[in-house]
Amino acid sequence: MRTTRLFRCVLAALICGTLSHSAARADGETIAAFTKNQVDPHFEGVRAGVAQMAEKMRATVKYYTPTKPNNITEGMSQLEDVGVTKPKLMLFMPIDAKAQVPTVKRLIESGLPIINYNDRGGDAPYLSFIGQDDYKLGYDIAKTLFDHLGGKGNVVILEGVKGSTTGDERKRGFDAAVKDYPNIKVLASQPANFQRLLGMQTMENLIQQFSSIDGVISAADASALGAIEALNAAGRKNVAVVSINGVPEAVEAVKAGSLLAIAEFDGFKIGCVATAVGLNAIRGQSVPKQVIIPGAIITKANYAPWLVPYKDRTCPPADAYKGG
């Protein structure tokens, strides 16, 4: 798979550089790794990737995750804690970039190197951004659905969090694909906030409003799985659903045929690369300002690699890497 080879090349270069350059340098650095909640399996993948790469590069990790999902008050408190504990490196994804960036800037000014990963975190002077192209993920997965529908039909969109870069960029990609298919009609586009329960509740309301829905585009696996529950309960099992992420439960749904396809937004890979880039940077190497990891379209024809549990996955080997 071309995207997988490219990803391996990027990551292997990072690792190779680290092993060749930093072997004589001190290791054992502490990393503060932020994720947004403990309920979305995507972030479990991020933490698994961070853990594996940190162990491989002989660093230690302290995780910062709100006990209440995406709770900005806890997120702000945890940023303040980092200012006290002073790790050697921070991996940061925003819960609310607008609210958190001033504190992040103060931490950077105090000398803390910070990698922004997963979600873009505003205009702070990060060492690098590690993530994926949300616009392209949105465009590609919408196009996959529209092609499946033969270029015509009624669809609904379950958006992410309005105002978030991730959610807004994916929605922009959805909208761009709609413009390329004049016989696709968008009946409704509503936020489901990347959440399963809200995805189910929003879908239940849409089912009551519209008697004919041919397809559903979800900004995340969690809300897609909620939508599938609502569609099954309403006896509408023939509606094609697509989403973005690739968490194991959603890939199981692809295998079972209840989810048509997923645009891969791979937390495990993001965690691997962000940790490698960050440690390379604080060990004195130059690093790219951003690494955009390509994402595959996961379908019933190729789902098997994404069914592997995160704990059993392996960050790509050093010899597969050629440069960022």
What confidence score (pLDDT) does residue 152 get?
98
Q: What is the pLDDT of residue 323?
A: 46
Rounded percentage of the chain residues whose pLDDT exceeds 90: 82
Chain centroid to CA 277: 17
Average pLDDT rounded to a whole number, residues 260-286: 94
Per-residue pLDDT tens over the stretch 128-185:
999 999 999 999 999 999 999 999 999 999 999 888 889 999 999 999 999 999 999 9
Residues 6 or more apart from 2 whose CB is under 8 A from it?
none
User: 244-257: per-residue pLDDT in tens?
Assistant: 999 999 999 999 99
- Coil, helix or strand at residue 261: strand
Query: Which secondary-structure segment (H or E) carries 272?
Result: helix 267-282
Does 320 have pLDDT greater than 80?
A: no
Residue with tokens 């979305």: 40
- C-alpha 179/C-alpha 159 separation (Å) is 17
